[in-house]
Structure 1
Amino acid sequence: MRGAQVLITGANRGMGRLFALQAAAEGASRLVLWGREAESLESVAAEARSIEPAVEVEIGVADLADFLAVDDLVADLLEAGRAPDVLINNAGMVSSNTMAWQQDPDEAIRTLSVNTVAPIRISGRLLPAMIADAPRQKRILNVASASALTPVPRAAAYAGSKAALAHWSDTLRTELMLAGHTHIAVTTYNPGFVDTGMFAGTTSIGLTPHLSPERAVEIGWKAMLAGRAETVAPSLVHIARGARAFLPAPAFDALARSLGVYSSMDTFTGRL
């Protein structure tokens, strides 16, 4: 991490803020922080500088559902020759906790735009420069979700968007490997509910409490630095994925109901 240029989306709060502070603490030379709110991004920038006064911080304000605005931010980086060494596609949103047929389709499309299309667009435009910068080591961390691995009622658009991101991410990893671009490691991160406020009101699954933001970032950060293909948290996610793969649908449905997976969003009050 020392001397690296790090780009983080959704950096103004929650896990994105903590990723930024961790990068500063480990000696990143430049942070590029993207989010929707200039004031909160400036606050994170100040925190990062208090940890490492030498770190340079660049802020980009944009709604990731606005693809032209995203393209402009990427173009500015490339024109300045500042393709990142580390890209953390962290930004995400939940647009509803209604059943799929009750949700405004425009809300669902916005969820897909932020959670899936934006990371694909950002990565796709930055990757040629990252590939050309071999053999300098690069890292991409795509923050998907445990909901990518199992149905989550009242979060169909969110779960679908994260499933698409997770599958795209692992396919990207495979393509880079097959093409011989081994200096770029892609990690797909599938955490369960994280206690950032985004999922306020959701209920714990099984006996597993929500992850603290600090713990969630720690797990994802270590996996990214190590260049692991995938990491999940908490461990119950492994059980759910295995059960989903091997049990017939009625048996899995019964298990998911008993663990509280299918009712976890019923009392959701988090950020939309």
Structure 2
Amino acid sequence: MGWRWLGALLLLPVQLLWLAGKAAACLVLPPRLRDLSRESVLITGGGRGIGRHLATEFAKRGARKIILWGRTEKCLKETTEEIRTMGTECHYFICDVGNREEVYQQAKAVREKVGDITILVNNAAVVHGKSLMDSDDDALLKSQHINTLGQFWTTKAFLPRMLELQNGHIVCLNSVLALSAIPGAIDYCTSKASSFAFMESLTLGLLDCPGVNATTVLPFHTSTEMFQGMRIRFPKLFPPLKPETVARRTVEAVQMNQALLLLPWTMNILVILKSILPQSALEEIHKFSGSYTCMNTFKGRT
């Protein structure tokens, strides 16, 4: 028993070096992308913003079916018509992912009308852009229900069948604010941090589930109406991401079976700095970059 333990301990550094080298090689060599022609993709919050661009990107890359969930029928209908003009089968369902009973009911309707879902993209989110003391209690609950608990309900609704088929992918459109919170968005930051922990636990839990994987995407500020009015100090140095860029990189990450994606790549530096710098130094970075006051001009959509 002791020798076996020692052998495993000695083997671990070799395995880590091999995996690190393999990951580095993937950055240089052209990746082998997963074929999406047999996949049925469900996107929550799919009527507008990043969700709409995700739908068009999956369609461009040959997804067999696109299913959109959201709360606003007008936006869902417009996006559905756009996808259909691209020659891809598309359906939409009115669904508030923060409502557990509604999620389970609409998941059943999707299975009956469309069939099995093999890629689930949890994209729906809300932000209220207020401090804790200025926030309405119901608004705070709404953020947690949609941004965090909604993932529990959608994943529980579709993951069992993916495990049966040994074919599935759970995707979470999260935010870099899950790792580095800012004032003025305490509801959003809290919910995204919880969502990140959910996906980290889920990803590890799927290690022994062949054919089923997970991807978490952590983008920087993206230029959608959701965060309209948000301002940082050096917009030319840290420009907001385009939603179509986030969508393209997300679909690529799914095709490459990439577990974690930070956008842009410079956000990896932020993770390192948070690990080594004292809190006082991190506070100075927030003040210097303007993230400390970036929500003061917020007037986005909730």
TM-score, with structure 1 as normaliser: 0.93
- CA displacement at 1:182 relative to structure 2: 2.9
- CA displacement at 1:123 relative to structure 2: 0.5
Q: Among 76, 80, 90, which residue is 1:41 paired with? A: 76
CA separation in 2, counterparts of 1:144 and 1:220? 11
CA separation in 1, counterparts of 2:261 and 2:184? 25
- CA displacement at 1:80 relative to structure 2: 5.5
Instruction: Map residues 183-222 of structure 1 onto 2, 5 A cutoff.
Output: 183-204=211-232, 206=234, 207-222=237-252
Matched, 1:258 2:288: yes
User: What residue ranges of structure 2 are gaps of 5+ in the alignment?
Assistant: 1-35
- CA displacement at 1:214 relative to structure 2: 1.0
- CA displacement at 1:264 relative to structure 2: 1.6
CA separation in 2, counterparts of 1:6 and 1:114? 20
Q: Among 63, 73, 92, which residue is 2:106 paired with? A: 73
Matched, 1:112 2:144: yes
Partner of 1:32: 67
Partner of 2:130: 98
- CA displacement at 1:225 relative to structure 2: 1.4
- CA displacement at 1:152 relative to structure 2: 0.9
Q: Among 31, 36, 55, which residue is 1:20 paired with? A: 55
CA separation in 1, counterparts of 2:274 and 2:262? 15
Query: What is the aligned-residue RMSD (CA, Å)?
Result: 1.5
- CA displacement at 1:24 relative to structure 2: 1.6
Q: 1:19 to 1:213 in 2, by over 3 A?
A: same
SS in 1 for 2:226: coil
Bigger radius of gyration: 2
Confirm or deny: 8 A CA contact 1:170 1:186 kept in the other structure.
no
CA separation in 1, counterparts of 2:241 and 2:141? 28
Q: 1:4 to 1:205 in 2, by over 3 A?
A: farther
CA separation in 2, counterparts of 1:140 and 1:43? 25
Partner of 2:117: 84
- CA displacement at 1:79 relative to structure 2: 4.7
Q: 1:259 to 1:236 in 2, by over 3 A?
A: farther
CA separation in 2, counterparts of 1:263 and 1:124? 38
- CA displacement at 1:90 relative to structure 2: 0.7
CA separation in 1, counterparts of 2:62 and 2:265? 31
Confirm or deny: 8 A CA contact 1:170 1:229 kept in the other structure.
no
CA separation in 2, counterparts of 1:260 and 1:243? 17
TM-score, with structure 2 as normaliser: 0.84
- CA displacement at 1:93 relative to structure 2: 0.8
Deviations 1:79-130 (A, max 9, x none): 56823111111111102x2211221121111001111100121002211111
Confirm or deny: 8 A CA contact 2:47 2:69 kept in the other structure.
yes
Return the letter of the residue paired with 2:123.
Answer: N
Return the letter of the residue paired with 2:98.
Answer: A
